[in-house]
Structure 1
Amino acid sequence: MSKHDKKLEQAARAAWMYYVAGETQQDIAEKLGVSRQVAQRLVALAAEQGLVSVNISHPVAECMSLAQSLQRRYGLDVCQVVPSDGLDSPGIHQMIAVAGAEVMAHTLKQSAPQIIAVGSGRMLRATIDELPTFDRPQHSCVSLIGAIASDGSCTRYDVPLWMAEKTQGRYFILPAPLFADSPDDRTLWCNHRIYRTVTEKAAQANVMFLGIGHIDAGCPLNADGFISDQQVAQLQQQRVVAEMLGHFIGEDGERVSSELDTRLTSVTLGAHTQRNIIAFCGGKEKHRAICAALKGGWISGLVTDEASARAALAQS
């Protein structure tokens, strides 16, 4: 890499931090190991060289290399890696949201009618927030997961509606709680005509956009009231490290059975998928979950951060 290319590389990294993660020039200086004046010049250089527009058009070479390595190692069709060295989780999540919106836009821009199936969660919500509005009323957005907790409340991260608002298309909600009260109750929910109609439509989806959840005390499923502290502890005893749509995944990437399976109402997923499933996930707390999803072949695409990518590539 030439001296000029290295300078552009550092300017692009500074631009990501400044324009996307909201870091100050002093923060950037500390994290890049340069003076504040140099950090200021790097941000200015990024603007002068046309690297910054609506998005940052010059990729960071290390991130590109990590993305290519992940694609080769795990057979991914799509992979984007954003800078994360020295950043905290909020900054990383914002970067993933911006990069993820670009990946989503490839599907949403198409003029042919698309069925877009969407999970739930904070990361997906943030990513959809970064999307521009598309005039694509021919597209349909289908929910893959119920957003009702055991107390009847709904999570704030029921994101398919937000996706439908971005496309001006139709929105199909999955009419069920994530976990029914009992196996018999699950049967009642899942045999409803509307439930069957929505899941049949989801089975025809051109693409699925999902998050990858981690399992720990205070994780989103726990904090939002879907699983109890006792259930979290039991899942951890079974070496569960990840979940997708309520399907629990062990360290080896394989599905782990639990008593919750008999009450789960979300659309069925499986390891070693042949479907077009793109996940958006990053941050230190997600490293083990991302590794498990990749090992098990649960996804065909991933938007993540540098540290998460390195953790996945370090797996034997």
Structure 2
Amino acid sequence: MSKHDKKLDQAARAAWMYYVAGETQQDIADKLGVSRQVAQRLVSLAVEQGLVSVSITHPVADCMTLAGQLKARFDLQLCQVVPSAGIEASGLQQMIAVAGAEVMAQTLKLEEPQIIAVGSGRTLRATIDELPEFDRPQHSCVSLIGAIASDGSCTRYDVPLWMAEKTQGRYFILPAPLYADSTEDRDLWCNHRIYRTVTEEAEKADVMFVGIGHVSAGCPLNADGFISDEQVRRLESLHVAAEMLGHFIGQDGQRLRSELDDRLTSVELTASTQRKVIAFAGGSDKHQAIFAALRGRWITGLITDEESARFALAQPD
């Protein structure tokens, strides 16, 4: 790589930090190891070279390389990696959201009616928040997961509704709690006519947008009341690595069977899927979870950060 290209890469990284992650010029200087004046010039260079418009059009070369390596190793159809070195968690989520929104928009812009199946989670919600509004009432948005906790409350991250509002399209809610109180209770929920109608619609989805969760004390699934502290401890003892739509995945990338399986009401996920399943996840607390989802071939597309990408690529098969 030429000296000019390296400078452009550094300018692009500074632009990501400044315009997307909301970092100050002093923050950028500290994290890139340069003076504040140099950081200011890098941001200015990004603007002068046309790298900054509505979005940053010059990808950081390392991130492009990492994305290509992830695609090749884990059989991904789509992959985008955003810069993450030294960036705080909130800024990192925002960067993934901006990149993810561009990916989502490729489907939402289509004139042909699309069925879009959506999971839940903070990163997915942040990504949908970054979407512009589309006049696409012909599209349908289908929930893949019940948003009701055991106490009857609804999660704040009922993201399919937010996407439907962005497109002005129809919204199909999955009318069930994520985990029913018992196997018999699950059968009652899942045999309801509306439940079957919604899950049949989800099976026809053109694309599925999902998050990748981790499981530990205080994780969103625990904090939002879907699983108890004791259930978290039992899952950790089984070496859980990831959670997707209420399905638990072990460190080997395989489905981890637990007591909760017989009560799960969300749409079934399958490994080595031929469906278009695009995940949005990043950050150090998600490293193991992202790798497990990749290792088990649970997804066909991924929007993540460079440190998560490097972690996944460093793991042995």
Query: Scaled by the length of structure 1, what TM-score is found?
Result: 0.99
CA distance in 2, matches of 1:91, 1:262: 38
Q: Deviations over 1:16-64 (max 9, x none)?
A: 0000000000000010010000000001111111111110010000000
Corresponding position: 1:253 with 2:269? no
> Map of 1:98-247 to 2, 5 A cutoff?
98-247=98-247
Q: CA deviation at 1:272?
A: 1.3
Q: Deviations over 1:78-110 (max 9, x none)?
A: 000000001121111100000000000111111
1:39 is matched by which residue type in structure 2?
A
The secondary structure found in structure 2 opposite 1:14 is helix
Q: CA deviation at 1:165?
A: 0.7
2:37 is matched by which residue type in structure 1?
Q
Q: Deviations over 1:264-307 (max 9, x none)?
A: 00000021111100000000000000000000000000000000
CA distance in 2, matches of 1:229, 1:35: 47
CA distance in 2, matches of 1:291, 1:241: 9
RMSD over aligned Cα atoms:
0.5
Q: CA deviation at 1:70?
A: 0.2
Q: What is aligned with 2:82? A: 82
Q: What is aligned with 1:280? A: 280
Which consecutive unaligned segments of at least 5 residues does structure 2 have? none
Q: CA deviation at 1:155?
A: 0.5
Equivalent pairs counted in the alignment come to 316
Corresponding position: 1:265 with 2:265? yes
1:309 is matched by which residue type in structure 2?
A
Q: What is aligned with 1:42? A: 42
Which consecutive unaligned segments of at least 5 residues does structure 1 have? none
Moved over 2 A (4+): none
Q: Percent identity?
A: 78
Query: Scaled by the length of structure 2, what TM-score is found?
Result: 0.99
Q: CA deviation at 1:7?
A: 1.1
> Map of 1:54-65 to 2, 5 A cutoff?
54-65=54-65
The secondary structure found in structure 1 opposite 2:260 is helix
CA distance in 2, matches of 1:306, 1:103: 17
Q: What is aligned with 1:15? A: 15
The secondary structure found in structure 2 opposite 1:249 is strand
